Structure 1
Amino acid sequence: MIEIDQLTKVYDGGVAVDNVSMTVETGTITVIVGTSGSGKTTLLRMINRLEEPTSGVVRMNGDLTNSMPKHILRRRVGYAIQGHGLFPHYTVARNIGTVPTLLGWPADKIRARVDELLELFSLDPTQFRDRFPTELSGGQQQRVGVARALASRPDLLLMDEPFGALDPIIRAKAQTDLRSIQRALGSTIMLVTHDMEEAIHLGDRVAVMDAGRLVQYGTPTEIIRYPETDFVSEMVGGLDRPLRLLSLSTVSDIVEDGPAEGEALDVGMNLRDALSQCLWTGRDDAPVIRDGTVIGRVTIDAIRARAEGRQ
């Protein structure tokens, strides 16, 4: 568990982060979202003391971070940034093994951990272990950067705009991969972004910052349905809010008994895509399948009810 208690940062009389308090549960993804200058990156950097707070404290699993030597703290906290920051003269394996090497892990344990992470990120160790960063695509470099941050099994992974440099298609895949890997490893992640779509897609909880203050902290559904300020309402997109809400639910949430004709929808499809499929084909309903077997149907009326918060 990460506890942020009244954290404040002042620069030359200006307040970059203003009395922020929040708790991040173990094994979750918390996304900090806000416009440029909102204080989100400064907040992240104070957690691993790349920036020292003016006041306030951070506790990691009950331990005060300001009482730890910085090198010990940073071994407990992985850090991944936009552009990945790989060492260009190191191979992929050496990049990923950087922190375990500093920690004195034996060579066979480091190699096993490198291969484990490469496989987890869908990078065949036999093909990628000995490559250099310049031989990788942007998406592959980003995956190696995250793998490096996870290599020593840190208590917390901090990510600052990790997907900002990727094109939209690779970015969407990277987000999905991160979510799957986080679930597989049970990692605790705090991620900064300016993109509310990314925050909603990735976050178990979303922290919205404005002018250094934490203006709302809740689940994606709470943020979309019940924005607490005009700024939050603008961030979640006004008229687009019902569609964002549909992207958080799947067909399995509203599947019902009954027949339907036409191409079937998978039970795991999100309701935003299900609505698009039905509208595109001019249907009021569609059959739903799980593992190739029809288990019921989904209707446009039920999807609309979910978008309006009536279901």
Structure 2
Amino acid sequence: MIEIDGITKTYGAMTAVDAVSMTVETGTITVIVGTSGSGKTTLLRMINRLEEPSAGEVRINGEATHSLKPHILRRRIGYAIQGHGLFPHHTVGRNIGAVPELLNWPKDKIRARVDELLELFSMDPDAFRDRYPAELSGGQQQRVGVARALASRPDLLLMDEPFGALDPIIRTRAQEDLRRIQQRLGSTIMLVTHDMEEAIRLGDRVAVMDGGKLVQHGTPAEIIAAPATEFVADMVGDVERPLRLLSLIPAGEVVEEGTANGEALPASASLRDALSACLWTGREAVPIERDGAAAGRVTLAAIRARAEAHG
């Protein structure tokens, strides 16, 4: 568990982060979202002491971070940034194994961990272990950057705009990768973004910052349905709100008996995905499957009824 207690950062007369307090539960993703200059990156950097707080403290599993030497603390916290920050002259294997090597892990244990993470990110170890960053696509480099941050099994993974430089299709895939891997490993993640769409898609909890203050901290559904301030409402977007809520509801919740033409969606797909499929192909319903077997259909009428109920 991560406890952030009244943490503040001032630069002369300017307050970049203003008495922020929140708790991050173990095994969850918390997304910190806000516009440029809202203090979100400074908050993240105070957790691993790349920036020293002016006041307040951070505790990881009950232990105050200021009681540890910064380099010891940072080995316990993974850190992934936009542009991934890979060492260009080191192979993928050496990049991922950098922190375990600093921790004096045995060579065979490092190699096993590198291969495990490559497989987790759907990158064949034999094909990728000995490549250099310049030989990878942007999406592959980003995966390696996240794998490196996870290599030493950190207590906490901090991510600062990790997917900002990726094109939209690769970005969506990278977000899905992160969600899948986080659930598999049980990692605790704090991620900074300026994109509310990303925050809602990824976060178990969303923390909205404005002018250095934490203005709302809640589940994606709470943030969308009951924005605490006008700033939060603007970030969610009034017109977008029903669509954003549809993105949180699995199609399996409104499936009904019957058949429909076209490619089936899994029951875990969101109602927003089902709406897109209907509108894209001009259909009134889409087929739904569970575990590869037909489960019924979701109709456009049912989707609209859900959207209107939340509108």
Whether TM-score is above 0.5 comes out as yes
* Post-superposition offset of 1:227: 0.6
Aligned to 1:46: 46
* Post-superposition offset of 1:279: 3.4
* Post-superposition offset of 1:290: 1.9
Q: How many residues align?
A: 310
Aligned to 2:83: 83
Aligned to 2:195: 195
Asked whether the equivalents of residues 16 and 211 of structure 2 are also in contact (C-alpha less than 8 Å), the reply is yes
Q: Where does the alignment leave 5 or more consecutive residues of structure 1 unmatched?
A: none
Q: In structure 1, what is the Cα distance between the partners aligned to 2:19 and 2:271?
A: 38
Which residues in structure 2 correspond to 1:104-143 (within 5 Å)? 104-143=104-143
1:35-94 C-alpha deviation (Å, 9 max, x unpaired): 000000000000000000010010000100011111111111000111101111111111
Q: Where does the alignment leave 5 or more consecutive residues of structure 2 unmatched?
A: none
* Post-superposition offset of 1:259: 2.2
* Post-superposition offset of 1:19: 0.7
* Post-superposition offset of 1:125: 0.8
User: 1:289 and 1:63, CA in 2 relative to 1: closer, same or farther beyond 3 A?
Assistant: same
2:35 aligned with 1:35: yes
AA matched with 1:100? P
Asked whether the equivalents of residues 33 and 209 of structure 2 are also in contact (C-alpha less than 8 Å), the reply is yes
SS in 1 for 2:171: helix
Q: In structure 2, what is the Cα distance between the partners aligned to 1:178 and 1:125?
A: 19
AA matched with 2:12? D
User: 1:86 and 1:265, CA in 2 relative to 1: closer, same or farther beyond 3 A?
Assistant: closer
AA matched with 2:169? I
Aligned to 1:272: 272
Q: In structure 2, what is the Cα distance between the partners aligned to 1:309 and 1:205?
A: 23
What's the RMSD between the two structures over aligned residues?
1.5
SS in 1 for 2:239: helix
Which residues in structure 2 correspond to 1:157-236 (within 5 Å)? 157-236=157-236
TM-score normalized by the length of structure 2:
0.96
Q: In structure 1, what is the Cα distance between the partners aligned to 2:242 and 2:280?
A: 18
SS in 2 for 1:4: strand
SS in 2 for 1:239: coil
Runs in 1 of length 4+ with deviation above 6 angstroms?
none
Q: In structure 2, what is the Cα distance between the partners aligned to 1:262 and 1:131?
A: 45
Aligned to 1:308: 308
Aligned to 1:294: 294
* Post-superposition offset of 1:281: 4.2
Aligned to 1:101: 101
1:262-289 C-alpha deviation (Å, 9 max, x unpaired): 2344322210121122234444444422
* Post-superposition offset of 1:306: 2.3
SS in 2 for 1:227: coil
Aligned to 1:9: 9
Asked whether the equivalents of residues 88 and 132 of structure 2 are also in contact (C-alpha less than 8 Å), the reply is yes
* Post-superposition offset of 1:214: 0.4
Q: In structure 1, what is the Cα distance between the partners aligned to 2:165 and 2:183?
A: 24
Aligned to 2:71: 71
Q: In structure 2, what is the Cα distance between the partners aligned to 1:135 and 1:174?
A: 19
2:246 aligned with 1:259: no
Q: In structure 1, what is the Cα distance between the partners aligned to 2:282 and 2:89?
A: 55
TM-score normalized by the length of structure 1:
0.96
Asked whether the equivalents of residues 245 and 310 of structure 2 are also in contact (C-alpha less than 8 Å), the reply is no
Q: Say which is worse superposed, 35-44 or 119-128, in terms of deviation.
A: 119-128
Q: In structure 2, what is the Cα distance between the partners aligned to 1:156 and 1:211?
A: 26
User: 1:310 and 1:234, CA in 2 relative to 1: closer, same or farther beyond 3 A?
Assistant: closer
